[in-house]
Amino acid sequence: MDAPDRRAVAAGLLGGFAAVTGATLVYFAFHGALRDLVFYTWTYNLRYYGPEVTTVDRALSALRPLGLLWRAYRRSCWPERPRLRFLP
């Protein structure tokens, strides 16, 4: 079987993104909450929350999921080592 065409993969990825984003926009517009959606997903984060968070805090929050993934990977690949009784 041949490798998928990159254009087809990119079109599928963009189509899926557009479908989910479009459905979300239609849902909130139908319920009269499109302005609230824009405010709480975009404006609030940039205007109010962003200035309160330092660059170090942002970097640490970005690294947190990687640490959690590593812990899960380590536990699934290596058996648990026996703990010594005097160690916590």
DSSP character string of 4-16: PPHHHHHHHHHHH
Q: What are 21-73's pLDDT values in tens digits? A: 999 999 999 999 999 999 999 899 888 877 888 888 888 888 888 888 888 77
Q: Does residue 82 belong to any structural domain of this protein?
A: no
2 in helix, strand or coil?
A: coil
Q: Does residue 81 sit within a domain? A: no
The pLDDT of 3-29, averaged and rounded, is: 92
Task: Say if 66 falls within a structural domain.
Answer: yes
C-alpha–C-alpha distance, residues 2 and 4, integer Å: 6
69 in a structural domain: yes
Is position 1 within any domain?
Answer: no
**Sequence-ordered list of residues with C-beta below 8 angstroms from that of 10, at least 6 positions apart, any chain:** none
What is the number of domains present in the chain?
Answer: 1
Does 85 reside within a domain? no
Residue 24 CB contacts under 8 Å (≥ 6 apart), including other chains:
37
pLDDT at 64 (0 to 100): 86
Within a domain: 67: yes
Residue 52 lies in a domain: yes
Instruction: Provide the domain limits for residue 19.
Output: 9-76
